[in-house]
Amino acid sequence: MKILTVCKSTTKNLHDQILSENNTTIPVFSLNGLFSSLNLVVNYAYIHDQTYHIVVSNQDSFAFCPHCGCKSSKCHSRYTRILYDLPISEYKVKLLFQVRKFFCSNPECNTKTFAEQPSKDIQPYQRNTTRFKNKLVSLASCMSSNQAERQLRMFDRKISGRTLLRYLHQVQVPEHKTITQVGVDDWAKRKGINYGSVLIDIKTKSFVGLLNGREKEDFATWLEQHPMVELVSRDRASAYSAAVAEALPEITEVADRFHLAKNMSDCLLNMLREKEVEYQEVIRKMRLDDYLERHPSSDETDDLSLCRDVVYYDFFVNQMKLSQIRKRLREKGLDFSNEAFMYRYGNLIRWRRRVVVDFNAQPPPPILPLYTPQMLTIIIGKHIRGKTISESAKRVIRGLMKYSWFKYIYSATKEFIEWLQKKDVELLTNWVNRYVKSKEAFIKTLARGIRHDIEAVKNALMYEVSNGVVEGYVNKLKTVKRTMYGRASVELLERKMYLNDYRLFN
């Protein structure tokens, strides 16, 4: 082994400089300091096969019987036990622990001899120290066991995925018996097939546990085991509400404001889907008028000029292709060539695609996009909240305001957002009473659902409680589940979520 020598004078000067700056003494480093927390003393050490072999023994001359707790100093025999510890630099560390067996001095104890246990970091029958095992558990909690096994092989540690899984299953998730405010939401084990429930402590924003289902019986059983719960924050699912009513009726239920806004957004989206044909035709007519204003009719009187209005209407309003329009005109007996037709109306395609062929020419005017129901729902929400939207979007909303059905949808959404933002119970009551008999089926259903869950919705306006932290944990749960390729059991997912939340192992 090559040893690098350092100049004695240089080392002494550096040592004196550090002492003068810190005005203190520097503790001398020794190998025993690495294992003082294990209550072990190093006898000697050597390097073999890229591994530090460190022979250690218990620094105490006595031991306590693990069965009766009696102190004993009478040694029976010795044997060597192999343990793996945290690596030092790029070398593995193998502890050769010289274990002593003692006679139990208690005559009433059934155990005659026992092996010493120097500290809690060295467990019986374990091949790894507890601190090394904790690092392995921390690694396995962030990825699948197979991935963790491959990562350890990169560091020349051959630990199987089954061993890592066994370590994970040994972790105990606390019961949280004193929890008073809990947030609950569902998560998909297999989307569209079966679901579970995730529970979060609202006060500490920490993970509590997972339930194997989202039915009423699952959550009611958990509430009966935790009688100190005073408040439940939930979405508007009826199963959780029924579980609270069955287990602990005195619990305060709070409906999540995000889910209330999501319910209104879904209601608006469904109504726009029903009216999609109507509002898309309105937008096409607006596009046609906009084009005609910028391109006045010419004085030519040939066949193609006479059918100009038909071409524009079919192209913008009926949204037909130019090839289809050309075919229809020929069927009506109009005689023209394809080259002449495209020379006259080919600019419509360039105008729609926003393509400028001549770079010296002026760019084409902005086009009103044919918004999907999802896009129009977002635009309406932003317009009501006073957020910035494009000029074309504002023109579309102004154009649709001329129609009674859109004005009704817009006003219902605006009033809903108003009482939700102001947290006004009186505005909530007025909105429910006004739209509970609405002719629009989706608004009527939403108003009836809120009236049925009115107490939880009122509490949502009065309490500063949000289910947002629960939604965040649901997203984290999806990530953890995907690292296991969707094959992890609920018990294993629960332990991984607990380890990722509390950061037990540094």
What's the chain's length in residues?
A: 506
In this structure, what token pair is assigned to residue 104? 């139990």
Spatial separation of the C-alpha atoms in residues 481 and 492, rounded to whole Å: 10
Render pLDDT for 437-486 as a digit per residue (tens, 0 to 9): 998 899 999 999 999 989 999 999 998 888 888 999 999 999 888 888 87
Residue 13, both tokens: 């000067």
Q: pLDDT tens digits for 286-300? A: 877 776 676 665 544
Tell me the residue type at 373.
Answer: P
Place of tokens 């006595």: 62
Strands (E), 368-491: none
C-alpha to C-alpha distance for 133 and 126, rounded to whole angstroms: 9
The torsion angles phi and psi of 64, rounded to 5 degrees, stand at: -110, 140
For residue 377, the model assigns a pLDDT of 93
Beta strands in 146-279 (DSSP E): 181-190, 194-201, 206-211, 231-234, 252-255
pLDDT in tens, 390-408: 888 888 898 899 889 999 9
Neighbours of 4 (CB within 10 A): 4
Q: Which amino acid makes up residue 62?
A: F
pLDDT tens digits, residue range 78-119? 999 999 998 888 888 999 999 999 999 888 888 889 888 888
CA–CA separation, 504 and 172 (whole Å): 12
Alpha-carbon separation of residue 426 from 200, 433, 436 (angstroms): 31, 11, 15
The end-to-end CA distance of the chain, in Å, is: 33
Q: Which residues of the chain have pLDDT under 70?
A: 1-29, 291-292, 294-306, 309, 350-369, 502-506
pLDDT at 13: 55
Lookup: tokens for 427: 């505005």
